[in-house]
């Protein structure tokens, strides 16, 4: 690690330090101010879809407590806050006139952030599609991409004077393949063909929205992908999974083409008719930042006769190897070195785009312990070690030439972790869901010092 004379590893002076959240995971207030239903309302209210029948109806009640939450962010010294905008608050049925009251919430949030010197990073789509659009076919329908661009522009019209950085989509791989192929996420459909169609229309929506926002004067445009290093001895297996997870989105968005492996697999699952002439040029808009959501690597091996992984159509004869080393409470392997590999690779293969880690973090079994003040403490040394290790990897990647501009921890608050409900705690701030009391964990206090120091302690 590069170190300064006082012995502390330092990040670049303008490095962006922050945290991230998403609308459905924290806001609650699902029927406030004319909000329409989203696919996650429907899914979480369908028995058997989410652990213990948890829903986002109340979540962290951030819709009502946003001012307190922003104060907390300021106390932690955050420079940036990534949040997402709930499309069904803006257009309750996914089309037509804007619901001014719904937009008003984000207007107040942005002003509160700016008032405390925190840069707002808005994501336009973090999985809460208006249910009315799903009823028309959702992301398997081409029209949804055009609806998304209209919505994006309407939000930008109101907030573009105060938000510099606009991210179109969060993790389209997850929306498409967990939502439409394996069905473990909303809307819960189970068809590989639907997965590939959804992926393409999400990409098209990204391109249309990016182009519209650019014309409207957006300062900085981003696309956030869940990316991971694929490990294994068998080159063909590694390349196939890398194509499905990483290059299926990187190459259309940044190179204007699909990887051959993806075209071949998609052709065998419903065909390629949904990809029209000119689409790839629309998708391939210049963007300023690639948002990297990184949690863990994936290890694969060749295994003749193995059926395809339900999340990855086309992976017959490939085994997804379970982790053998340390894992988080999600069961995800803890391997910071593979973040360095990923960042260096991205800057090598796509040098024109800056990188921002838009999510990195971990769930562990946290609990409140008594302390002498009576307020309680949450000791989470495993999370501190996780974040420290990944920041060291990020620092090493910068030293090796990666154009990494910032790091946003997932997440500010414990929240609704999709199909796992409230059982998985990713926050650096503990939330008692019965009282809504917030309590910064030890990791939050540690992160505050990292930010103050603009780096890690020691070598
Ligand atoms: C990512 C999501 C985010 C959160 C983390 C743990 O895939 O973008 O909402 O659930 O995983």
Q: pLDDT for 404-425, tens place per residue?
A: 999 999 999 999 999 999 999 9
In angstroms, the CA 23 to CA 83 distance is 7
Residue 427 · residue 412 · CB < 8 Å: yes
In angstroms, the CA 86 to CA 401 distance is 36
Average pLDDT over residues 9-35: 97
Residue 162 · residue 114 · CB < 8 Å: yes
Which pLDDT score, from 0 to 100, does residue 8 have? 53
Measured in Å, residue 416 CA sits from the centre of ligand 1 at 10
In angstroms, the CA 415 to CA 40 distance is 14
In angstroms, the CA 339 to CA 144 distance is 33
Catalytic one among 27, 134, 261, 359? 359
- Record the pTM: 0.97
Among the atoms of ligand 1, which is closest to the Cα of residue 22?
9
In angstroms, the CA 370 to CA 377 distance is 6
Residues 6+ away with beta carbon under 8 Å from 166: 122, 124, 152, 156, 213, 218, 220, 221, 222
Of the residues 359, 390, 422, which should be mutated to test ligand 1's pocket, given the most ligand atoms within 8 Å of the CB? 359
What percent helix, strand, coil does the chain show, rounded to 5?
A: 40, 15, 40
SS3 247: helix
Q: pLDDT for 161-198, tens place per residue?
A: 999 999 999 999 999 999 999 999 999 999 999 999 99
Q: pLDDT for 196-210, tens place per residue?
A: 999 999 999 999 999
Catalytic one among 171, 335, 340, 417? 171
Which pLDDT score, from 0 to 100, does residue 37 have? 98
Q: Where are the domains of the chain?
A: 16-453
Show the ligand 1 pocket: residues with CB < 6 angstroms: 22, 25, 170-171, 174, 226, 293, 359, 410, 417-418, 426
Measured at the CA of 407, the angle between CA 123 and CA 289, to 5 degrees, comes to: 50
Give residue 416's Cα distance to chain centre. Answer: 14
- Where is 84: in which H helix or E strand? strand 80-84
DSSP track, 330-363: T--B--THHHHHHHHHHHHHSTTSEEEEEE----
Binning pLDDT at 50, 70 and 90, where does residue 457 land? confident
Measured in Å, residue 166 CA sits from the centre of ligand 1 at 18
In angstroms, the CA 42 to CA 93 distance is 14
Residue nearest to atom 5 of ligand 1 (CA): 410
| DSSP label at residue 377 | B
Q: Is 68 a catalytic residue?
A: no
Structurally, what CATH architecture does the domain formed by 16-453 represent? Alpha-Beta Barrel (3.20)
Q: Is 171 a catalytic residue?
A: yes
Which pLDDT score, from 0 to 100, does residue 372 have? 87
Residue nearest to atom 9 of ligand 1 (CA): 22
Binning pLDDT at 50, 70 and 90, where does residue 312 land? very high
Binning pLDDT at 50, 70 and 90, where does residue 363 land? very high
Question: Computed from CA positions of residues 68, 71, 72, 78, in that sequence, does the dihedral angle turn out positive or negative?
Answer: positive
| DSSP label at residue 147 | H
Give, in order, the Cα–Cα distances in Å from 341 to each of 270, 335, 347: 34, 11, 10
In angstroms, the CA 415 to CA 234 distance is 38
Binning pLDDT at 50, 70 and 90, where does residue 459 land? low
Which pLDDT score, from 0 to 100, does residue 373 have? 87
Residue 57 burial class via C-beta count within 10 angstroms: exposed 0-12, middle 13-18, buried 19 and up: middle
Q: Which of 27, 21, 80, 68 is nearest to 427 (CA)?
A: 21
Measured in Å, residue 293 CA sits from the centre of ligand 1 at 8
Measured in Å, residue 374 CA sits from the centre of ligand 1 at 33
């Amino acid at each position: 690690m590069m170190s300064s004379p006082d012995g502390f590893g330092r990040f670049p002076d303008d490095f962006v330090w922050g945290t991230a959240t998403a609308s459905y995971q924290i806001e609650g207030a699902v029927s406030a101010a004319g909000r329409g239903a989203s696919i996650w309302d429907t899914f979480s209210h369908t028995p058997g879809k989410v652990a213990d029948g948890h829903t986002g109806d109340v979540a962290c009640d951030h819709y009502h407590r946003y001012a307190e939450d922003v104060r907390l962010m300021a106390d932690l010294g955050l420079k940036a806050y990534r949040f997402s905008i709930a499309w069904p608050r803006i257009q309750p049925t996914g089309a037509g006139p804007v619901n001014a009251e719904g937009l008003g919430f984000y207007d107040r949030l942005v002003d509160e952030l700016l008032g405390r010197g925190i840069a707002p990073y808005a994501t336009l789509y973090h999985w809460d599609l208006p249910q009315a659009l799903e009823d028309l076919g959702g992301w398997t329908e081409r029209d949804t991409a055009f609806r998304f661009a209209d919505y994006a522009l309407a939000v930008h019209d109101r907030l573009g004077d105060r938000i510099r950085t606009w991210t179109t989509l969060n993790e389209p791989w997850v929306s498409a393949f967990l939502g439409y192929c394996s069905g473990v996420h909303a809307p819960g459909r189970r068809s590989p063909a639907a997965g590939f169609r959804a992926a393409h229309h999400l990409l098209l929506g990204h391109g249309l929205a990016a182009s519209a926002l650019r014309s409207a004067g957006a300062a900085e445009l981003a696309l956030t992908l869940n990316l991971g290093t694929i490990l294994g001895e068998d080159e063909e297996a590694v390349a196939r999974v890398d194509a499905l997870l990483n290059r299926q989105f990187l190459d259309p968005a940044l190179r204007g083409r699909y990887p051959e492996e993806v075209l071949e697999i998609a052709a065998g699952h419903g065909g390629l008719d949904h990809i029209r002439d000119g689409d790839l040029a629309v998708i391939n808009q210049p963007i300023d930042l690639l948002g990297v959501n990184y949690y863990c690597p994936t290890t694969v091996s060749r295994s003749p006769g193995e059926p395809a992984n339900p999340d990855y159509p086309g992976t017959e004869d490939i085994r997804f190897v379970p982790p053998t080393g340390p894992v988080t409470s999600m069961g995800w392997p803890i391997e910071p070195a593979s973040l360095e590999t990923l960042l260096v690779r991205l800057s090598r293969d796509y040098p024109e785009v800056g990188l921002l880690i838009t999510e990195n973090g971990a769930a562990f079994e946290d609990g409140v312990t008594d302390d002498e003040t009576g307020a309680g403490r949450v000791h989470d040394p495993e999370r501190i070690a996780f974040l420290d290790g990944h920041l060291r990897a990020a620092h090493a990647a910068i030293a090796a030439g990666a154009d990494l501009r910032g790091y946003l921890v997932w997440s500010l608050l414990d929240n609704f972790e999709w199909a796992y409900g409230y059982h998985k705690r990713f926050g650096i701030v503990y939330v008692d869901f019965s009282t809504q009391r917030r309590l910064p964990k030890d990791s939050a206090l540690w992160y505050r010092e990292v930010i103050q120091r603009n780096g890690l302690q020691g070598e």
